[in-house]
Structure 1
Amino acid sequence: MTLEPLALPSSDDPSGWGEWVRSRSSEELDRARALVDRLRDDPPAEPVEVLRTWDRATGHLGGVAAIGSLIGNVHPDQSVRDIADAAEQDADKLATEWSLDRTLYDVFSGLTAEGLDPAAARLLTKVQKDFRRSGVDKDDETRSRISAIRDRLTALDQEFSKLTRDDVRTIRVAPEQLAGLPEDWLAGHPAEDDGLVTVTTDYPDAIPVRMFAHDQEVRREIQTAFLQRGWPAAEPLLEEMFALRQELASLVGYPDWPSYDADVKMIGDGAAIPEFIEKITAAATGPMEADLALLLERYRRDFPDATEIPLYDSFYYQEQVRQEQYDVDGQRVRTYFDFSKVRQGLLDVTGRLFGLRYEPVDVPVWHEEVTAYDVFRVSTGSTTADAGASIGRIYLDLHPREGKYKHAAQFTLTEGVAGEQLPEGVLVCNFSRGLMEHDHVTTLFHEFGHLLHHVLAGHGEWYRFAGVATEWDFVEAPSQMLEEWAWDPAVLRSFATDEAGEPIPVELVEAMRRSDDYGKGIYARTQMFYAAMSYWFHADEARRAAGEEVPSLTDRMIDFQRRYGALPYLEGTHMFAAFGHLGGYSSAYYTYMWSLVIAKDMFSAFDTADLFADDVAARYRDRVLAPGGTKDAADLVADFLGRPYSFDSYAAWLAR
């Protein structure tokens, strides 16, 4: 049986998109309700069919939430985004209703794993735990309060996401103040009628200006504007969000939100999060001090009395260090990374690595700059599908526009299940339409790793285990590992060419690699600042709930930056107000570094002299990516490495 991807409406008709979101959501919700009504009224006799009915119901429900989240973050028309947000709220509300339904709970609580295959037994265990964690066994009043909290949290998360998406700050400067910026960037930013140039806080503006503008005041202004996004509107939203998460965790029997959240992650225990943060902080202290000493030495050539490097000068002077110490000029590097060549190179590299082919398709999309590809297998030996068969569709939405999600992420359009539905995923980023910084090239590889995970793991028996369905503190590891291919000289030379068609020199890539090793300590400590903020903002709520006084979010942020960060706080800024991970990742931002530890260990299995070796690439594809959530992440990694993962590769990388 040939499965067909979703048929989307035309980008030329916003009203058609709104109607499509409404009708698709309504149909999927009706299907989900019908299946759950069957479970309540006349459940199948066989436990596996009970599980299958529930899995398909939650699959339909998840499809509504996925479409709502995607379209609410990418569609150019505000009215369509509002309809999508409402659909996501409807799905979340129904999910909450089911999770607190005692009749449904009774259906599953009486089941045992006897006679079930390992995947079905795993699903049963997870469903039973989901119900227990939901508070279904509480009294009517408590369940009613839990329901209200979850509905409000959905609305708060959407409001916070909308705020971080829509709050674009600007500065206006004279053209001569932009000396140092690349010529192509300057050409795209002409002076307006009043003689000034508008610079926004969107990445394609903010990053080059911070890196290359010679004018210190301009660097200070754009950095300040960037770190003021979301302020002050975000603070009351976040305060309410943290308080409600704490209340929810307490109602279902956990001491605090981090403990509740960690219970279904690799780390297992909320108290282990600060221990991990301290472990990385200690390991990164020496490298950070060495990085800062080199940076301060360069900074003092321009500011002899300086005792530290202001945050707004740090990007510019790190670039100076790379140019002078490592002979890496970021502006020269950019000339080799034309966006269209990078996009094609990404497809060529990942296709070769994983035995895939991407075929462009001319189908309706939500914006004219979005490209779509059908994905095919071109090699045998995988559990994902037969060679030559279509295994899914991907969409690439890679440039900034008004009202669009401001960061980089993979969104689900549909989850995939064998014989029923193809996986479809969307890459949503904000890259330049012209030349790219190499940092953005690695980001593109990283995010595409999530897309591959989604597609390759979309061919199993259960929606629950489809796609990126492993523990949340593992999901970044495959993407972080794929970044390594964006650093290999041979890989880069296959698509990174300048205007004359000359490939990027091997010596330049090697210098870029050495240059990238500079700053790892700063990076790791900055990540621990973010992780500490993510954890303690939530852990503090338990103290507040107990009657203790807790400092404001800004004061706590400043304290965490001083304790964990590598660079000083910039007066008058409120970085947390646009820190979107406080929504989806909540208390678990530590997962980026946790995953990186595993990513470095997984990459140690590859031969750096031949990153496309068929045996190891296929083993990784089939044992880590394709299984989705059918095993614990630690077991997937052990299946690939032939041993449990360790900290050693990460420690060696950090100390290098």
Structure 2
Amino acid sequence: MTSETETPLVPLALPGGGDWLTWVGERCEGSLDEARREVEAVKTGAADEVLAAWNRAETAIANADAVALWAEVHPDAAVRDRADELSQEVQKYVTELGQDLELYAVFAGLSDRLDPAALDAGATRVLEHTLRDFRRAGVDRDEATRDRLKELSEQGVRLSQDFGRNIRDDVRSIKVAPERLAGLPDDYRAGHEPGDDGLVTITTDYPDLVPFMTFGADGEARHELALAQNNVAWPANDEVLQGIFAIRRETAELLGYDSWPDYDTEVKMIGSGQAVADFIDRISTAANERAASELGVLLERKRVDVPGTDVVATYDSRYYSELVRREQYDVDGQVVRTYFPFEQVRQGLLDVTGRLFGLEWTPVDRAEAGTWHDEVASYDVGLDGVRIGRIHLDLHPREGKFKHAAQFDMVKGIAGVQLPEGVLVCNFNRGLMEHDEVVTLFHEFGHLVHHVLGGQGRWTRFSGVATEWDFVEAPSQMLEEWAWDADVLATFARNAAGETIPAELVAAMRRADHFGKGVYAAQQMAYAARSYYFHAGPHDDLTAYGDELQRRYSVFPPLEGGHMHCAFGHLDGYSSGYYTYMWSLVIAKDLFSAFDDDDLFAPDVAHAYRDKVLAQGGRADAADLVADFLGRPYSFDAWTAWLEE
């Protein structure tokens, strides 16, 4: 792959220790002003300039829309609040454009005004997608309907921001006596000294939560922490979600769809709401037998500690899975984590992805990068000696920061116009990492690589991770495979004595990882069912209905007294499409089948994947990108074989 331009571009100038509040406002409002000028050029310009002007408008809108990042990561609450306000302005403007009859008329008549030869494949695709967007925004509806759709959109943006803010700001905790930390690693206990009351505080932030639920031997303490986690943003987000779901249902109805999932899936690979329901049942059926068998193993192990029990609870899952892997597969998670100090993992990730995709990662000091926090690490991305983007890694928790793991756009890459810049936002421990956290880091970094490599083309709307939403996880899920390979891990996984992780331990880890795949698939379908059925129709009691779906699809009973939907952030961004994770995994396993297990860095395959899938962004349908790489349509075969291993 080569960049489509030789023009040297520079990254966005961030204010560093300067006035972020002013900068955020000027960046967003200036971009909106630019978008308005370009939209006017679309309306008044010559036919052969329409798509170029529209592309400039979409670039400016994307730059304005990136203000949402600062609401999630900036340490200053005033900046976060201002970013939320500005995001509302951006979405209001986007909604107005979608219902602008004059603007729509320009695009609707463009084919008649242009020689068909003037539209190449990219321009034709832009026009087709733009006309589809207008229809989905309700431009063809009567004035009263359009006004109501605008109102619903503005309400939805505000509720979505409330939903995310409630999760972000509600860090809960429990207090336990020091002896209740039994089973936890030494470094964890050393980092959790008792307070003046003699008790240890454990929060729902990931660096506290994950080790506690994995290694904590006190079942009741795990129960207490699980309740705290499952009640984050309760009861506030219960009402917020009901509002979001109602807005989405009404929006779909006004636009002529049978349900929100039908509206939502029209632009996804899966194609229809019913197909989502069918997919959930298909995966659930495929996983049922294995999940039941694995649950039996967990229950048998729990009975060693709790004779006569008949229940493995959600808060037992990680703990007893860890014990089974330790005792039956000879994999001790506390030993494994000693090979994964955070700094080594981060550098190892860069080395691995650099070698795989032919990329160079050049550190940028904070003074030059101008970032928003001391712990943010920035790198210029090079390919064949040319800078093609910049990335920023914000990987540790802090007050007011986004609580999960995700990649955010800072700048969409446009050839000859602006470099792609992305931000990886996670919440990892600053010390030793669990191996599943290493896997998560590889996964999330995959989105960042996709954003940069896919940001070298002409059209804004196809820049970066711009494929159908139910494909976006597939490249990241495939990259997880490199975090399981012994030869790959040997390049960076070393303990404090400098000893490389043994190949036999990695082999045992892989065998142990096969245990729990059925349980995992079943639980994923429980989450996917919440996402789908919460949107498919109204439900007065989300907790009760969520519990019903948990009983239907998961092997673990619902947590009494918990309200997990209130902190289930994907109910906003993914709406009815949480099935995406498993749908993408099916494709990811198929993509990985093209690689040679004995040489995961073979450049012919790796570079073909880079150029035919990642570098294309959204320039073609995902199914076509996959078929171009594999030489055939994707199938379930590789996923089925994986489940049966």
- In structure 2, the partner of 1:599 is 588
Alpha-carbon distance in 1 for matches of 2:504, 2:557: 34
- In structure 1, the partner of 2:25 is 22
Code of the residue aligned with 1:527 in structure 2: it is: Q
The 5 Å alignment of 1:475-624 reads: 475-541=472-538, 550-624=539-613
The 5 Å alignment of 1:31-430 reads: 31-40=34-43, 42-46=44-48, 49-66=49-66, 68-112=67-111, 114-115=116-117, 116-362=119-365, 363-377=369-383, 387-430=384-427
Alpha-carbon distance in 2 for matches of 1:466, 1:566: 40
- In structure 2, the partner of 1:443 is 440
Alpha-carbon distance in 2 for matches of 1:286, 1:602: 26
Alpha-carbon distance in 1 for matches of 2:421, 2:200: 40
Q: Secondary structure at the match of 1:626?
A: helix
Code of the residue aligned with 2:377 in structure 1: it is: T
Structure 2 residues without counterparts, runs of 5 or longer: 1-6
Q: Percent identity?
A: 59
Q: What is the CA deviation profile of residues 237-292 of structure 1, one whole-angstrom value per residue up to 9, with x for unaligned ones?
A: 00010000011111111111000000000011111100000000011111101211
Alpha-carbon distance in 2 for matches of 1:631, 1:638: 11
Q: What is the CA deviation profile of residues 303-341 of structure 1, one whole-angstrom value per residue up to 9, with x for unaligned ones?
A: 221222122222211111010010111100110000000
Higher mean displacement: 215-224 or 95-104: 215-224
Counterpart of 2:621 (choices 622, 625, 632) is 632
CA contact (8 A) 2:42 2:51 kept: no
CA contact (8 A) 1:602 1:637 kept: yes
CA contact (8 A) 2:464 2:617 kept: yes
C-alpha deviation, 1:218, in angstroms: 1.0
Q: What is the CA deviation profile of residues 531-553 of structure 1, one whole-angstrom value per residue up to 9, with x for unaligned ones?
A: 00000000013xxxxxxxx4410
C-alpha deviation, 1:175, in angstroms: 1.0
Q: What is the CA deviation profile of residues 151-177 of structure 1, one whole-angstrom value per residue up to 9, with x for unaligned ones?
A: 111111111011111111000111111
CA contact (8 A) 2:47 2:110 kept: no
Higher mean displacement: 106-115 or 265-274: 106-115
Alpha-carbon distance in 2 for matches of 1:180, 1:302: 14
Instruction: Give TM-score, length-normalised by structure 2.
Output: 0.97
Alpha-carbon distance in 2 for matches of 1:185, 1:141: 59
CA contact (8 A) 1:62 1:91 kept: no
Alpha-carbon distance in 1 for matches of 2:475, 2:12: 27
Code of the residue aligned with 2:255 in structure 1: it is: V
Instruction: Give TM-score, length-normalised by structure 1.
Output: 0.95
Q: Secondary structure at the match of 1:426?
A: strand
Code of the residue aligned with 1:369 in structure 2: it is: E
Alpha-carbon distance in 1 for matches of 2:608, 2:557: 44
C-alpha deviation, 1:111, in angstroms: 2.0
Code of the residue aligned with 1:315 in structure 2: it is: R
Q: What is the CA deviation profile of residues 173-199 of structure 1, one whole-angstrom value per residue up to 9, with x for unaligned ones?
A: 111111211111111111111111110
The RMSD of aligned alpha carbons is 0.9
Alpha-carbon distance in 2 for matches of 1:43, 1:308: 69
- In structure 2, the partner of 1:545 is none
Code of the residue aligned with 2:169 in structure 1: it is: D
Code of the residue aligned with 1:39 in structure 2: it is: V
C-alpha deviation, 1:39, in angstroms: 2.0
Alpha-carbon distance in 1 for matches of 2:317, 2:154: 42
- In structure 2, the partner of 1:461 is 458
Alpha-carbon distance in 2 for matches of 1:50, 1:520: 51
Code of the residue aligned with 1:77 in structure 2: it is: D
C-alpha deviation, 1:515, in angstroms: 0.7
Q: What is the CA deviation profile of residues 549-595 of structure 1, one whole-angstrom value per residue up to 9, with x for unaligned ones?
A: x4410111000000001211111001110000011000000010000
Is 2:9 the partner of 1:3? Answer: yes
Code of the residue aligned with 2:543 in structure 1: it is: T
Alpha-carbon distance in 2 for matches of 1:312, 1:631: 43
- In structure 1, the partner of 2:4 is none
Q: What is the CA deviation profile of residues 401-458 of structure 1, one whole-angstrom value per residue up to 9, with x for unaligned ones?
A: 0000000000000000110000000000000000000000000000000000000011
Q: What is the CA deviation profile of residues 199-246 of structure 1, one whole-angstrom value per residue up to 9, with x for unaligned ones?
A: 000011011111111112211111111111111000110001000001
Alpha-carbon distance in 1 for matches of 2:548, 2:474: 29
Deviating beyond 4 angstroms after TM superposition, the runs of 4 or more aligned structure 1 residues are none
Code of the residue aligned with 1:367 in structure 2: it is: H
Structure 1 residues without counterparts, runs of 5 or longer: 378-386, 542-549
Q: Secondary structure at the match of 1:454?
A: helix
Alpha-carbon distance in 2 for matches of 1:111, 1:646: 38
Is 2:631 the partner of 1:650? Answer: no
Q: Secondary structure at the match of 1:335?
A: helix
Q: Secondary structure at the match of 1:357?
A: strand
CA contact (8 A) 2:41 2:50 kept: no
Alpha-carbon distance in 2 for matches of 1:214, 1:137: 61
Q: How many residues align?
A: 632
Alpha-carbon distance in 2 for matches of 1:231, 1:332: 37
- In structure 1, the partner of 2:3 is none
Code of the residue aligned with 1:503 in structure 2: it is: T
C-alpha deviation, 1:137, in angstroms: 1.1
Alpha-carbon distance in 1 for matches of 2:432, 2:255: 51
Q: Secondary structure at the match of 1:452?
A: helix
